[in-house]
Amino acid sequence: MTTPQWLSLATLGGMMALFLWGRFRYDVTAVIALLAAIALGVVSPKDAFSGFSDDIVVIVGSALVLSAAVQRSGLIEGLLQSLAQRIKRPQAQMLVMSAAVGVASGFIKNVGALAMLMPGAVQMARKNKASPSLYLMPMAFASLLGGLTTLIGTSPNIIVSRVREEMTGEPFGMFDYLPTGAALLVVGLLFLSVGWRLLPTDRNAAQGMAEAINISAYVIEATVTEGSPVAGLTVAEFHERNEGEIGVTGLMRGDMRGEVLPYTTIGEGDVLILSGEPDVLERIVAADRLTLAGDGKGKGDEPQRADNIGVIEAVIRSDSALIGRTARRLNMRDRLGINLIAISREGATIANKPGNTVLQAGDVIVLQGPLETMPARLSEMGALPLAERQIGLGSRKARWLPLIILACAMVAAGSGVVPAAMAFFAAASLTVITGALPADEAYKAIEWPILIMLAALIPVSESLQTTGASDLIAVVLANFAVQLPAWGAVALILVAAMAVTPFLNNAATVLVMAPIAAVFAEQLHYRPEAFLIATAIGAGCDFLTPIGHQCNTLVLGPGGYRFGDYARLGAPLSVLVVVIGTPLILWAWPL
């Protein structure tokens, strides 16, 4: 072994030790590894920042922005939750929601798809008096499997595509992952349809914000727009349409206030006073094409810039100047540039418009206005901010736009008309330019620690190849695997990636293992594709711990899970992925 090879392997060993220790966050560990590689001379200073311009970083960052735009539209969420609510059995609901998350994860970031549908799953569990643990872990595992189906589904797919391009001159296409990924998703869903019995049923979700402040219902004022599906329905039919999840406590037609009776007909332009849980109200406002009071208006009724507007939840303090007054009397919209769009009061049913309701200490209010001035305004009013809420206040006309832009990017990249990095960067830019996603939200959607980690580790990974260290590791593995059949060699890489991922970030695992897997295949005189796909699948299938992937971590608290619960369902699923995945890989990518 040469000195550069020793130094490169020492850098790799030190980095893995830091990942295992967990003292530093993964992006900080990656930066330490890059600095060490530069200090030891295995990465030259001029190549140190090459990772920041790498296509991998561009595609991952762009995919995150596109995911946020699709998630913000609320379109997929509304369609899927509407479908799931037509199914009454909790186990069937779990399977439908898991399948929906799996399919969505192929087109948007899997953690984004999961976060988008989690609130609906928790609501279903509460409605059926079932534990959220029945729904959430299967959905998390399905999101991991769904991410295996396309190039942008998960970071490992993007990384192995680049390695294949370096080896053969041709990257993986957008849907080259579909045969293996879709088959594993179907197999995983079939397993979850019976394997859910392995889940604990006595877990209680961690207390959320709503429970902590005892929010039972919000009251909002919404206008029935032209073409709304509720126009022409009676109040009773409206309740039935929404499964009794919200109440109509008031109805105004022009300047007249009508009595709310079951046979009262709802017409276009009517103003409804609706009461219900926040998530339910948000969903119904979107699905029934209602317009929230004050939507998009500010001082002087001038439209406010979409990239500057947010919705914040706050509680009225006991010394607030708002107590005993109404938003209309305070002229809140014109004087402060803030809209009061919802009120919640513990133990009370509010029948007035939010703007006409006399405010009390302890009321939880939802305010819309410019985010940069909102903290100062809340302080002036004597209100304590609780949380920013993602209430869909965007233009209904723009709801399809993010999906159209995403579809165009996928077609352009899949057909090879333009490189994937250019297609997705242009698509992400268009979502901001067209207003489908405000610029501030686009920056928030980008997971900067992931991008920093990728940019820092790409030069470190390349140093393994330039020094020949990856060749040495591959030769050792090849000598061990020379007696194995072809399926045994592929399974070895698949299991190795699956075993390492719980301790490293999945992208870090692939950055280290993909070059080794490619040389390993070369040493055994096989084509590299099957081994690269095996690396990506292994790194993307961490079902054993809550810390190996963000999706698993995301459901830990809401599902009330313990560390060992993941292995109860995840261990048999991992075995299934290896047993079924190995022949699938060899079928799709012959050696």
Local confidence pLDDT in tens for the 591 residues of the chain: 789 889 999 998 998 888 878 788 888 999 999 999 999 999 999 999 999 988 888 988 898 898 888 877 767 666 765 665 677 788 888 998 899 899 989 988 787 788 777 767 877 787 778 888 888 899 999 999 999 999 988 889 999 998 898 888 889 988 899 999 999 999 999 999 999 888 876 666 544 434 433 444 566 778 899 889 999 999 889 888 887 778 887 788 876 766 678 888 898 988 888 877 766 777 788 788 888 765 444 444 444 444 455 667 777 876 678 888 887 777 776 677 777 877 776 555 555 667 778 888 777 787 877 766 777 777 778 776 654 444 444 444 467 888 899 889 888 888 878 888 899 999 999 999 998 888 888 888 888 888 898 899 889 988 888 888 888 888 888 888 878 898 999 999 999 999 888 877 788 889 889 988 988 998 889 999 999 999 999 999 989 887 667 788 778 767 778 878 889 999 999 999 999 999 999 999 998
Q: Which residues of 178-210 are buried (b: 16+ CB within 10 A; e: fewer)?
A: bbbbbbbbebbbebbeebbebbbeebebeeeeb
Q: Are 501 and 538 in contact (CB under 8 A)?
A: yes
Q: Are 550 and 502 in contact (CB under 8 A)?
A: no
Q: Which residues of 307-339 are buried (b: 16+ CB within 10 A; e: fewer)?
A: eebbbbbbbbbeebebbeebbeebebbeebbbb
Structure tokens at 59: 């595609």
pLDDT at 216: 44
Residue 301, classified by CB atoms within 10 Å of its CB into exposed (0-12), middle (13-18) or buried (19+), is: exposed
pLDDT at 211: 43
- Extents of the domains making up the chain: 3-48+151-201+447-588, 209-292, 299-396
Q: Which H or E element spans position 3?
A: helix 3-21
The arrangement of secondary structure in 299-396, i.e. its CATH architecture, is: 2-Layer Sandwich (3.30)
Q: Are 321 and 337 in contact (CB under 8 A)?
A: no
What is the rounded CA–CA span in Å between residue 533 and residue 537?
A: 6
Q: What is the CA radius of gyration of the chain?
A: 26
What is the rounded CA–CA span in Å between residue 587 and residue 128?
A: 43
pLDDT at 495: 94
The residues that bridge with 256 in the sheet, in sequence order, are: 253
Give Cα 540 distance to the centre of its chain.
15
What is the rounded CA–CA span in Å between residue 271 and residue 399?
A: 23
Residue 133: what are its φ and ψ, rounded to 5°? -60, -25
Give Cα 525 distance to the centre of its chain.
40
Tell me the helices (H) and strands (E) count for the chain, helix number first: 24, 9
Q: Are 363 and 316 in contact (CB under 8 A)?
A: yes
Q: Are 137 and 95 in contact (CB under 8 A)?
A: no
pLDDT at 72: 76
What is the rounded CA–CA span in Å between residue 430 and residue 407?
A: 13
What is the rounded CA–CA span in Å between residue 366 and residue 565?
A: 37
Q: Are 45 and 459 in contact (CB under 8 A)?
A: no
What is the rounded CA–CA span in Å between residue 363 and residue 320?
A: 11
> Which of 281, 289, 290 shows the shortest CA–CA distance to 313?
281
Residue 545, classified by CB atoms within 10 Å of its CB into exposed (0-12), middle (13-18) or buried (19+), is: middle
Q: How many residues does the chain have?
A: 591
- Expressed in percent and rounded to 5, the helix, strand and coil fractions of the chain are 60, 10, 30
Residue 254, classified by CB atoms within 10 Å of its CB into exposed (0-12), middle (13-18) or buried (19+), is: exposed
Q: Are 154 and 506 in contact (CB under 8 A)?
A: yes
Residue type, 440: D
CA torsion, ordered 227, 287, 234, 275, to nearest 10 deg = -130
3-state class (DSSP) for residue 234:
strand
Domains 209-292 and 299-396 agree in fold: yes
Q: Is the dihedral of CA 299, 300, 301, 304 positive or negative?
A: negative
Q: Which fold has domain 209-292?
A: Alpha-Beta Plaits (3.30.70)
What is the rounded CA–CA span in Å between residue 298 and residue 377?
A: 14
HEC string of 109-152 equals CHHHHHHHHHHHHHHHHHHCCCCCHHHHHHHHHHHHHHCCCCCC
pLDDT at 299: 44
Q: Which H or E element spans position 574?
A: helix 565-588
pLDDT at 209: 37
Which DSSP symbol is given to 153?
Answer: S
